[in-house]
Amino acid sequence: MPKVLILGGRAPVALDHARRFAAQGWQVIVADSVSCRLTSWSRSVHSDARLPSPRHMPVHFIAELNRLIHQHRIDMVVPTCEEVFFLSRYRQSLPQACHIACDDFDKLRVLHSKWDFLALARQAGGHAPESALVSDLEQARAWANGRPVVLKPEFSRFGVHVRICPDGIADNMSSLSLLGRWVVQEYHEGPEFCSYSIADRGRLVAHALYCPLHRLNRSSSYCFEARQHQELQDFVARLVAQLEFTGQISFDWIEAPDGRMHPLECNPRATSGLHLFEMDDDIPAALFGTAYGLVTPRPGRTRMLAPVMYGPGLWQAVVTGELGTWHANRRRARDVLCTWPDLAPLAGATVDMAWFARTALASRCSLREAATSDIEWDGEDLPCI
Q: What is the distance between the alpha carbons of residues 238 and 221, in angstroms, rounded to a whole number?
A: 26
Rounded to 10 degrees, what is the CA torsion of 18, 19, 20, 22? 80
117 falls within a domain: no
112 falls within a domain: no
Could you tell me which residue, 163 or 87, shows the higher pLDDT?
87
Q: In this structure, are 150 and 98 located in the same domain? A: no
Write out the H or E segment, with its range, that includes residue 311: none
171 falls within a domain: yes
Q: Is the confidence at residue 105, as pLDDT, over 80?
A: yes
What's the mean pLDDT in 40-46? Answer: 98
Domains: count for the chain: 3
37-41, 158-162, 293-297, 316-320, range with the lowest pLDDT: 158-162
**Which of 280, 304, 328 represents a domain boundary (last residue)?**
304
Could you tell me which residue, 175 or 267, shows the higher pLDDT?
267
Q: Is the confidence at residue 151, as pLDDT, over 90?
A: yes
Q: In this structure, are 60 and 164 located in the same domain? A: no
pLDDT at residue 67 in the model:
97
72 falls within a domain: yes
Could you report the per-residue pLDDT of 335-372, keeping only the tens digit for each? 999 999 999 999 999 998 888 888 888 888 877 777 88
pLDDT at residue 372 in the model:
85
Q: In this structure, are 172 and 196 located in the same domain? A: no
Could you report the per-residue pLDDT of 191-202, keeping only the tens digit for each? 999 999 999 999
| Selection from 58, 63, 70 nearest residue 5 by Cα | 70
pLDDT at residue 178 in the model:
72
47-51, 131-135, 215-219, 340-344, range with the lowest pLDDT: 215-219
Distance of CA 168 to the CA centre of its chain: 29
pLDDT above 70 covers a percentage of the chain that reads 99
pLDDT above 90 covers a percentage of the chain that reads 79
Q: Is 19 exposed, middle or buried (0-12, 13-18, 19+ CB in 10 A)?
A: buried
Q: What is the distance between the alpha carbons of residues 163 and 144, in angstroms, rounded to a whole number?
A: 13
pLDDT at residue 176 in the model:
83
Q: Is the confidence at residue 172, as pLDDT, over 70?
A: yes
Q: In this structure, are 198 and 300 located in the same domain? A: yes
Q: Is the confidence at residue 159, as pLDDT, over 70?
A: no
336 falls within a domain: no
Range of the domain at 262: 192-304
Residue environment code for 30-60, b if the CB has 16+ CB neighbours within 10 A, otherwise e: bbbbbbbbbbbbbebbeebbebbbbbeebee
Q: What is the distance between the alpha carbons of residues 198 and 258, in angstroms, rounded to a whole number?
A: 30
Q: What is the CATH number of the domain that holds 201?
A: 3.30.470.20
312 falls within a domain: no
Q: In this structure, are 182 and 200 located in the same domain? A: no
pLDDT at residue 364 in the model:
83
Q: In this structure, are 288 and 214 located in the same domain? A: yes
317 falls within a domain: no
Q: In this structure, are 167 and 134 located in the same domain? A: yes
Amino acid letter for position 188: H
Q: What is the distance between the alpha carbons of residues 238 and 91, in angstroms, rounded to a whole number?
A: 26
Q: In this structure, are 172 and 214 located in the same domain? A: no
Q: In this structure, are 47 and 28 located in the same domain? A: yes
Q: In this structure, are 74 and 35 located in the same domain? A: yes
Write out 327-372 in H/E/C secondary structure: HHHHHHCEECCCECCECHHHHHHHHHHHHHHHHHHHHCCCHHHHHH
Q: How confident is the model at residue 220 (pLDDT cuts 50, 70, 90)?
A: confident
What's the mean pLDDT in 31-49? Answer: 96
Average pLDDT in the chain: 93
40 falls within a domain: yes
Q: What is the CATH number of the domain that holds 59?
A: 3.40.50.20
Q: In this structure, are 65 and 165 located in the same domain? A: no
**Which of 304, 331, 354 represents a domain boundary (last residue)?**
304
Q: In this structure, are 2 and 93 located in the same domain? A: yes
